[in-house]
Amino acid sequence: MNLEQFVHGAQWLFLGYFVFLNLGYMFLNLIAMFSLRRYMEARGVDSLPSVYSNFELPTSILVPAYNEEATITSSIRAMLQLKYPEFEVVVINDGSSDGTLNRLIDEFELIPFPEAYRIRLKTQPVRTVYRSRVYPNLRVIDKANGGKADALNAGINAARFPLYCGVDADSVLQPDSLQRIVQPFLDDPTTVACGGTVRIANGCRVSGGFMEKISLPRNPLALLQVVEYLRAFLFGRLGWSPINALLIISGAFGLFKKETVIAAGGYRTDTVGEDMELVVRIHRKLRKEKRPYRITFVPDPICWTEVPEDLKTLKNQRQRWQHGLAESLTMNFRMMCHPRGGWVSWFAFPFMFLFEFLGPLLEVSGYLFFALAYLQGWISMEAYLAFMLVAVGLGVLLSTSALLLEELSFHIYPRARHMAVLFAVAIFENFGYRQLNALFRLLGLLRWMFRRKARWGEMQRTARWSTPAPEKSRSEPTPP
Amino acid sequence: MTSSGSVLDSLGSSESIVQVALLSGQFALLATAILLGYAFLLRASLTLRNRRHAAFISVWRPILADVVSGHDPDQTTLPALKRRDLAFFLHEWNITHDSIRGSAETRLNALARTLGVDQQVWKMLDQHQVRHKLVATATLGHLGEVRAWERLRNLIESSNTLLSLLATSALVQIDADRALPLVIPHMANREDWPPARVATILRRAGPDAVSEPLAKAILEASPEKANRLLGYLDTCHLAVADELTHRLLKYSDDDYIITALLRTLDNPRELPIVRELLAHERWHIRMLSAIALGRIGEPEDTATLIDLLSDQAWWVRYRAAQTLANLPSMSIERLREIQAAQSDRYARDILDQVIAEETL
């Protein structure tokens, strides 16, 4: 192969990659649009007042916590006030080295409790189980440090109810979060897991752990992530859900059938992306056993989280995500094109592998190749610009279509000015931010290749949006 | 040969790559421009809609509140309902209807008829948009529109879950006695109908209407379908539920039916069967039997419950310990005595936990 043939081949490869990647996402976008339309239709009629019935499944909220002393009490207080007939909150203190446990003990009047703790999933030793004197539905498991997955497994061991909801300690929930995310389990008894849409809390005002005022972040990096999250959740997840091929449920807020997770072996402690790995493994197990099941997603914005506002934290987060994705896919590689795997094996898994796992490598190589080829005179200026037009143009198209989905559905950002800003962001994120992200993810891929293990994701949190709960809520606990 | 050769040649040329890239890029930009325009149109229409809604609410919410609080609608003072406000009106009207009972419902229906909404709703039922059909179905149910019976009856068969459920609910609202024998078999057959919504429809119909057709359907159904219907047993009269439970417990050996019955069972005459079920091979039946024993058991069942403290399943031990702790004759001291007498560590541990719960 001579240089000319190599350059031609490479041009087709990278051009083909960008076109097919975006065609794939456009296909998901169409599915998401259709499914969102049906969902919104049903939601409109369902907004009539509903009566609680005893069919709502009791749910355990599991909150793994590691060095969360700054936000843990307001988060837990908000969770205790969720609108739901029967639920418990189980906080798992994973050997925090700060004052997380003491804050919890003081705030919720915890006392040691001789619980006959069942070890159904193996974890690091549990030191003490606490129960609150004030809230009968609050327990705290204090255990030796073992990572988030280990903490979640301990929480599953302690959970009393058939469904459990894994929630990040810093997540801000809507009061009706549980009601919304439980709905698929009521509508279809074969549902084994359900994820919810996570939105960005930076720039919003949170009081007492609940969202009070929604606005856009002022920090440019956080603002860029607003469009990215819309894209990821509104069609990245919603597109996969109707064909039962959803491979990711965010660790920030996801509901699972406890027995299904235990039967699958719980969370793996040797991976960074324990949330994705579990979902892929559940697909694999249930498909293998030929059991009917659904892993689904509710598009309602039910959980809010803080995103990084500085490049260093963003870089760490994206590296960790890519590392986790790589582990999840390679650990379950038998899913790839498995004869019994359906849409998961023949579409979702190969798509994730080609465009998410290898994506950063191809994307960064593509940009570098075209720049180098132009500088070396292998391709013309026109060819270089045409490639950039494809890469940037299709990126803008995808981001714009995510914003359109938002406009067709929830209108979370109330002012027209907000949408105008977001449309501007959808264009400008393609000039630098997207490329930077691809680079961070490539570094994550390299980290995975060299097997550098990561544990709890340490994030620089500002929590500027959060104000403490009003004092009166202390004396007005919502009974379970 | 020649033609495939030329395709390959063309693929190999720089111009063709550039052309494909330019076309893709132009397509992306054009599509983006269209989406942007559409999104801005949507936002403009939303803003306009919000304004209209605010104007609608300021006029009609007081009228609806007035009607609900006891005033009959006065045709001479009512403003005309603008065509564009029909959707807002139906939304408000249905929400209000869902939250009231009794004579206020009659007045609300009179208001809708005075405004001619009932006629509009018939047209909506014929429209293709599912959303219109849904709203029309809910409205016809609230209006108790007997003439819609056949149309709604056909909609029960709809593959759209929500539409079929709303049609069921509407039929029950129009005439529960006539509707329930018709819809209960569907409740057993339709796996896509969420039990919580079905239960809401049955509760709304009331036990007088539900008891007989539900009991009949359960007795005639296959075990799988009977199991689904048993979940609604608490919507029947207690006496009917009791009699049905007695008959099924006596003659059914289906685990799922037994499980469903144990959850609601509350009559001491079932005590012998419950005692037998404490030794069942499935742990969740032993657990539910232990709980049932707490409701209908006698002092002599204490020994059986103590035996269950050593069961191999955690939930059976836990529920047995809780039942034991809640027996009328039980005290913390007595629980401690029982605990001290246990040689099994699991029995002692579970009592430790339950004693701590009781004393917290």
Using one digit for the tens of pLDDT, what is the confidence trace for A63-90? Answer: 999 999 888 998 898 899 898 888 999 9
Is A379's CB within 8 Å of B31's CB? no
- Distance from the Cα of B323 to chain A's closest Cα (Å) equals 16
CA distances from B218 to B147, B207, B212, B244, B261 (A): 30, 15, 10, 9, 12
Asked if the A54-352+458-475 domain carries CATH number 3.90.550.10, the reply is yes
Q: What is the pLDDT of residues B154-213, one digit of tens each?
A: 999 998 888 999 999 999 999 999 999 999 999 999 988 888 789 889 998 999 999 999
Give the β-pairing of A138-143 and A87-94. parallel
Which residue spans of chain B are classified as CATH 1.25.10?
A: 265-360
- Which residues in chain B touch residue A22, judged by CB atoms under 8 angstroms apart? 28
Helix H or strand E encompassing A90: strand A87-94
> Nearest residue of A to residue B97 by CA position?
A48
| Nearest-CB residue to B98 (from A48, A131, A407) | A48
CB of B235 within 8 A of CB of B199?
yes
pLDDT surpasses 70 at B293? yes
**Which of B24, B99, B194 is opposite residue A394, by nearest beta carbon?**
B24
Question: Comparing C-alpha atoms, which of B197, B207, B168 is closest to residue A56?
Answer: B197
Question: Is this complex's ipTM strictly greater than 0.85?
Answer: no
Residue A19: which of B24, B353, B356 has the nearest Cβ?
A: B24
**CB-CB under 8 Å, A416 with B47:** yes
Mean pLDDT, residues B302-324: 92
Please indicate whether, in this complex, the C-beta atoms of B161 and A187 are within 8 angstroms of each other: yes
The two beta strands, A126-132 and A110-112, are: antiparallel
Residue A81 touches partner B, C-beta closer than 8 Å: no
- Considering only CB atoms, B32 lies closest to which of A41, A48, A400, namely A400
Write out pLDDT tens, residues A124-159.
999 999 999 999 999 999 999 999 999 999 999 999
Percent of chain A with pLDDT over 90: 52
Window 251-310 of B: residues touching A by CB (8 A cutoff) are: none
Where exactly are the structural domains of chain A? Answer: 3-20+355-449, 54-352+458-475
Of B14, B200, B346, the CB nearest to A53: B200
In angstroms, what separates the C-alpha of A222 from chain B's closest C-alpha? 22
Report the alpha-carbon distance of residue A83 to residue B162 in Å, rounded.
24
pLDDT digits (tens, 9 = 90+) for A444-474: 999 998 876 555 555 555 555 555 443 333 2
How far is it, in rounded angstroms, from Cα B70 to Cα B72?
A: 6
Q: Is there a contact between A407 and B42 if contact means CB atoms under 8 Å apart? A: yes
Are β-strands A163-167 and A59-65 bridged in parallel, bridged antiparallel, or unpaired?
Answer: parallel
Candidate CATH numbers 1.10.10, 1.25.10, 1.20.272, 1.10.3470; the one for domain B265-360: 1.25.10
CA angle in degrees (0–180, nearest 5) for B165-B168-B171: 150
Q: How confident is the model at residue A96 (pLDDT cuts 50, 70, 90)?
A: very high
Give the mean pLDDT of chain B: 88
With a cut of 90, say whether residue B6 has pLDDT above it: no
Angstroms from A43 CA to nearest CA on chain B:
10
Our CA-based measurement puts residue A243 at a distance from the nearest CA of chain B, in whole angstroms, of 17
Minimal Cβ distance to A53: which of B17, B36, B199: B199
Q: Could you tell me the pLDDT band of residue A234, with boundaries at 50, 70 and 90?
A: confident
The reported pLDDT for the residue numbered B213 is 95
Beta bridge partners of A128: A142
Give the Cα separation of B326 and B295 in Å (integer).
10
Rounded Cα gap, residues A245 and A239, in angstroms: 9
Q: Note the helical H segments in B69-129.
A: 86-98, 103-114, 117-126
Q: Using the beta-carbon criterion (under 8 Å), do A22 and B28 form an inter-chain contact?
A: yes
- Is A383 touching B (CB cutoff 8 A)? yes
A394 touching B (Cβ < 8 Å): yes
Entry pTM: 0.80
Q: What is the mean pLDDT of residues B9-34?
A: 79
Contacting residues of B for A51, CB less than 8 Å apart: 200, 203
CB contact under 8 A, A116 and B38: no
- Contact list in A for residue B22 (CB cut-off 8 A) is 386, 389
